[in-house]
C-alpha cells in the first residue's frame, strides 16, 4: 500500500529556475491538494484539484502552476523560483468531500525546498 508519495524529499535550487515537485497517489482519490508550510504561517493551501483536468486556486497560488492530466498525479511547478518560495511543501489527497463518507485528507511526507 504505497499511499501518497512526494518527490524529491529535498531540493535545492537557484532563483529564477523552474522546479517541479511531484505528487503521486495510489488510491484513485478524486481530490488532491498542495500546501506549503512556513514558520509563523502554518499550512497554507496553494492549489487543489477536484478531478483530472479540474484545478483551482487556494490561498497563496501566485508563482505556482499545477496540472492534473491523470487522477493519480498532481505536480506543482514553480516557473521561476524565488527565495520567498523556500518552504516545506505537502501534497494531500481525499476520496470524497461528503460527510456521509467521513472523508479525510491523507498527506505525503513533504518536500523541503530551498531557493538560493
Partner 1 sequence: DAKTTQPPSMDCAEGRAANLPCNHSTISGNEYVYWYRQIHSQGPQYIIHGLKNNETNEMASLIITEDRKSSTLILPHATLRDTAVYYCIVRVNLQGAQKLVFGQGTRLTINP
Q: Which set of grid coordinates corresponds to residue 13?
A: 535550487
Residue from 67, 71, 77, 109 in contact with partner 1 (CB under 8 A): 109
Residue from 31, 47, 64, 74 in contact with partner 1 (CB under 8 A): 31
Calculate the CA 24 to chain-centre distance.
10
Q: Is the distance from CB of 23 to CB of 74 less than 8 angstroms?
A: yes
Is the sign of the CA dihedral 20, 44, 87, 11 positive or negative?
negative
CB nearer partner 1, residue 58 or residue 63: 58
Stretch that binds partner 1, among 17-25, 44-52, 63-71, 77-85 (CB under 8 A): 44-52
CB nearer partner 1, residue 14 or residue 29: 29
CB-count exposure of residue 42 (10 Å: 0-12, 13-18, 19+): exposed
Binding site residues, partner 1, CB under 8 A: 31, 35, 40, 42-45, 48, 50, 56, 58-59, 90, 92, 94, 97-99, 102-110
Amino acid at each position: 500500500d504505497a499511499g501518497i508519495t512526494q518527490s524529491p524529499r529535498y531540493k535545492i535550487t537557484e532563483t529564477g529556475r523552474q522546479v517541479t515537485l511531484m505528487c503521486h497517489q495510489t488510491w484513485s482519490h478524486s481530490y488532491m491538494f498542495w500546501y506549503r508550510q512556513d514558520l509563523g504561517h502554518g499550512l497554507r493551501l496553494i492549489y487543489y484539484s477536484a478531478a483530472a483536468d479540474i484545478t483551482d486556486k487556494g490561498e497563496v497560488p501566485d508563482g505556482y502552476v499545477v496540472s492534473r492530466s491523470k487522477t493519480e498525479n498532481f505536480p506543482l511547478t514553480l516557473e521561476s523560483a524565488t527565495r520567498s518560495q523556500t518552504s516545506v511543501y505537502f501534497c494531500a489527497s481525499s476520496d470524497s468531500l461528503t460527510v456521509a463518507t467521513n472523508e479525510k485528507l491523507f498527506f505525503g511526507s513533504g518536500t523541503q525546498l530551498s531557493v538560493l
